[in-house]
Structure 1
């Protein structure tokens, strides 16, 4: 930058400094130091190519898992509540991604465990019933084995087992109580109709047909409870993982593009830096003279 001479204004000296960069001068520096720019870029590109050739290909696939839940009746409709939250499920799965020792909890052969790169759970926007799980592995053929072992691992978790067993016990109690109530209602109905037939009861004070309605409602409740008990399961695969034909990593085009841009950026920086050092050294020698 060139500094202009001071200009007097109202007895004050004001200094004006050029803020514009001489583009032609920068071009001359780059033209002079073009070997630095080109060699730096080539080093980056060659390094990227070597990495692409030596890096093991990683195959990625994802599948959806249904989280265990229970149903609450509200009027004539049912609302579903997860027994295990999406966050809790994610934490259980994330524990597997730390070390190979943790991955052994999947109870897979050693060679398959060592080919697992990562297991990543993620939420599905607007859906609390399912969770998406992404598998990264060096061998696509073991993806199905990993997904099945993961489901077994989730269902064998003590916290998960306790939650499911507690819900199962509750449903069994409700069914038993409802069946006892149904039995008592049927006995009452039988006794009332018998007494009415024999003339022992003249006025009940209620419509005997109401008993039939109550009995039908209890039977309906029992049927619904038994369906809920039957459908009470652990984690299940909702959508199986697909076997990828091509690796997802390394991303060759992206790596090459980044290497070229990075190499050019650093090369230009080095060119200007070397020129600055040369000029600074020359100015230092001139001052000494």
Structure 2
């Protein structure tokens, strides 16, 4: 019986709420039209925002400095800092955001993502170039570039010396074989030639890394992606959200007004009954 009574009370409450909505429908509809209309006008007046995303690669060893350390050193990019980073593009850029790539991907431990939101999409490539230039001109990056180059130059010198001495080593090995001091199973000329070729390839790779470091310790990994359509404002989403909020607000206000009206009626009735007595 109690359960049936609760269900009946709920039905009465819902019915009362529906009566309030029907009674105050002008308020609810008016508030809905006002808020949705105002939101639509503001959304259409807001400037279109385009987004560009790029991957930057660190040519420096992650053991010397990591992407997260660079982001920490830069800190929060507020307006004054953004002006220092991109002085040429700043007037059209809304925000710059730097992030690391997922830690689970080992191949991404030397990469960071740069996201730029701007009023004009044609300024985004130039803004990326300015960010890249700013990063490469950081004192910590310049210092680590010098350290990395020293390591690579030393490795190249050691490998080059090994290549230069390889003909003499081969002659020595051949003499030892002829003298019976070394067997062909202990010394394979073909394997030695392969190792020398590998060393020469390593020297070429070291040369290429040194040349790339001369241009900076950070480079753009791939061409940046720039959205063709604006990412903001999301007009339809804003209007839909405003519509839902305005309806809820209208119903809430209608219920409050109805409650106040009922309280006043009860007070007036009580006063009338008291005066008659």
Shared fold, TM over 0.5: yes
1:76 maps to: none
1:253 maps to: 236
What is the rounded CA distance, in whole Å, between the counterparts of 1:283 and 1:118 in structure 2?
58
Closer, same or farther: CA 283–35 of 1 in aligned 2, 3 Å:
same
Mapping of residues 216-255 of structure 1, within 5 Å: 217=195, 220-231=198-209, 232-233=212-213, 234-255=217-238
Please, which of 100, 103, 106 is the counterpart of residue 85 of structure 2? Answer: 106
Task: Say yes or no: does 1:50 pair with 2:41.
Answer: yes
Greater helix share, structure number: 2
TM-score scaled to structure 2, two decimals? Answer: 0.76
Q: Does structure 2 retain, via aligned residues, the 8 Å contact 1:58–1:138? A: yes
More divergent stretch after superposition (170-179 vs 251-260): 170-179
TM-score scaled to structure 1, two decimals? Answer: 0.74
What is the rounded CA distance, in whole Å, between the counterparts of 2:152 and 2:200 in structure 1?
10
Structure 1 segments unaligned to the other structure (5+ residues):
1-6, 8-15, 71-80
Task: Say yes or no: does 1:210 pair with 2:192.
Answer: no
Structure 2 segments unaligned to the other structure (5+ residues):
none
Please, which of 24, 32, 52 is the counterpart of residue 33 of structure 1? Answer: 24
Offset of residue 162 of structure 1: 2.2
Aligned CA-pair RMSD: 3.4
Q: Does structure 2 retain, via aligned residues, the 8 Å contact 1:168–1:229? A: no
What is the rounded CA distance, in whole Å, between the counterparts of 1:132 and 1:39 in structure 2?
46
Which structure is richer in relative contact order (CA contacts within 8 A, separation 6 or more)? 2
- CA deviations over 1:16-73 (Å, ceiling 9, x no partner): 8775252222111111111221122122112202212332221122222223255xxx
Query: How many residue pairs are counted as aligned between the two chains?
Result: 258
Greater strand share, structure number: 1
Offset of residue 238 of structure 1: 2.5
